[in-house]
């Protein structure tokens, strides 16, 4: 199957995930407002009113976490399972969405366990970022905004974008080896990714390029729309103008007029871009990355020394590796 065909047939997972997130954000905003105005209309004491609003907000956060965050992750897992099947076997079932949900149900414990193992790549990414920052500090000295710090920040961001796909590929490896321990498959998947980093990094330029184009087009469109909308709301622009008039940089220089409006529009644009990019662009990139990953995994065997190296880089990986050793150790 071609990459676009796999992407097209697994896109429903992204649409459902995005709609759930929008619904949960609406609930998160609406519940505290309803509680606040309902208790106000009822003439309830202000302290109780604020407490009710806070409780409503906490309830909204719980709903958001369960439905949008964890529920969204399970939808992502189903999508990855189907992308992996399409790439590895060259076929997809007639009911892709239904089979993806069934795959997650069959391996729910695996998907849930893997959800707790995401610290593997986060720890490795943090180690790389910390190393970059340490080098930058040694070069720049007291100049925190020096050229080395800027370069280190850019490299760390690029590494973070590329390594993000390790999570997806490793989970795909877990679904591809359903008869194996989730912890063993997770460790094998991570080792395969890093063992073949030279091959897989060939995709990094494409990943970064598509991400930047997505940011420029989608993020730029949202930024322009936000600027036109917010810039036409006089009460808002008056408040932002007052903020600019009183704000200063660390060196004491005045903040240019219009800075707060640009920052607000930038934040809104980034949030909206992140939602659409994650729903529609990342899955397209993932199909290509997954294809290279599975080809590399089939062509190579995980090397024993690579497990030790990754265990030294990541506490999360070491915990998973320890769990594998516990599962394979003979009973006393």
Q: Average pLDDT per run of 10 along the chain, which is 332 residues long?
A: 92 92 87 84 79 88 83 87 93 92 76 59 58 61 60 69 76 82 80 77 78 93 94 87 79 78 92 90 91 84 77 74 77 47
Instruction: Write a three-state SS string for the chain.
Output: CCHHHHHHHCHHHHHHHHHHHHHHHHHHHHHHHHHHHHHHHCCCCHHHHHHHHHHHHHHHHHHHHHHHHHHHHHHHHHHHHHHHHHHHHCCCCCCHHHHHHHHHHHCHHHHHHHHCCCHHHHHHHHHHHHHHHHHHHHHHCCCCCCHHHHHHHHHHHHHHHHHHHHHHHHHHHHHHCCCCCHHHHHHHHHHHHHHCHHHHHHHHHHHHHHHHHHHHHHHHHHHHHHHHHHHCCHHHHHHHHHHHHHCECCCCCECCCCHHHHHHHHHHHHHHHHHHHHHHHHHHHHHHHHHHHHHHHHHCCCCHHHHHHHHHHCHHHHHHHHHHHHHHCCCC
Tell me whether residue 194 is in a domain: no
Domain count, the chain: 1
Predicted model pTM: 0.78
In a domain, 171, yes or no: no
Does residue 261 belong to any structural domain of this protein? no
**Cα gap 56→53, rounded to integer Å:** 5
Range of the domain at 74: 1-106
Residue 94 lies in a domain: yes
The number of C-alpha atoms within 13 Å of 165 and in the hemisphere containing its C-beta is 30
Decide if 261 contacts 230 (C-beta within 8 A): yes
- The answer to whether residue 70 is domain-embedded is yes
CA distance 134 to 152: 9
What integer pLDDT is reported at residue 283 of this predicted model? 93
Q: Does 186 reside within a domain?
A: no
Instruction: Judge whether 192 and 302 are in contact, CB under 8 Å.
Output: yes
Give a yes or no: residue 48 inside a domain: yes
- Residue 98 falls within a domain, yes or no? yes
């Amino acid at each position: 199957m071609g990459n676009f065909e796999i992407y097209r047939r697994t896109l429903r997972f992204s649409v459902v995930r995005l709609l759930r997130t929008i619904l949960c954000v609406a609930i998160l905003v609406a519940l505290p407002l309803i509680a606040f105005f309902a208790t106000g209309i009822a003439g309830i004491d202000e302290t109780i009113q604020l407490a009710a609003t806070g409780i409503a907000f906490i309830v909204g956060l719980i709903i958001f976490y369960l439905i949008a965050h964890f529920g969204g992750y399970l939808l992502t897992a189903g999508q990855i399972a189907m992308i992996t099947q399409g790439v590895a076997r060259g076929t997809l079932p007639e009911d892709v969405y239904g089979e993806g949900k069934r795959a997650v149900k069959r391996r729910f414990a695996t998907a849930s366990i893997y959800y707790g193992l995401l610290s593997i790549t986060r720890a490795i990414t943090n180690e790389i970022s910390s190393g970059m920052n340490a080098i930058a500090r040694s070069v720049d000295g007291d100049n925190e905004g020096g050229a080395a710090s800027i370069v280190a920040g850019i490299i760390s961001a690029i590494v973070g974008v590329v390594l993000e796909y390790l999570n997806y590929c490793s989970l795909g490896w877990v679904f591809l080896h359903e008869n194996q321990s989730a912890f063993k498959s997770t460790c094998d998947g991570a080792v395969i990714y890093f063992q073949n980093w030279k091959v897989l990094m060939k995709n990094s330029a494409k990943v970064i390029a598509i991400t930047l184009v997505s940011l420029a087009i989608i993020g730029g469109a949202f930024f322009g729309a936000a600027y036109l909308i917010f810039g036409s709301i006089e009460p808002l622009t008056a408040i932002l103008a007052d903020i600019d008039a009183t704000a200063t940089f660390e060196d004491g220089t005045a903040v240019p007029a219009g800075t707060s409006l640009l920052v607000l529009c930038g934040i809104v644009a980034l949030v909206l871009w992140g939602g659409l990019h994650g729903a529609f662009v990342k899955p397209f990139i993932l199909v290509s990355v997954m294809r290279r990953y599975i080809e590399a995994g089939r062509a190579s065997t995980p090397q024993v020394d690579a497990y030790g190296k990754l265990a030294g880089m990541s506490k999360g990986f070491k915990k998973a590796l320890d769990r594998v050793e516990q599962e394979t150790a003979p009973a006393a």
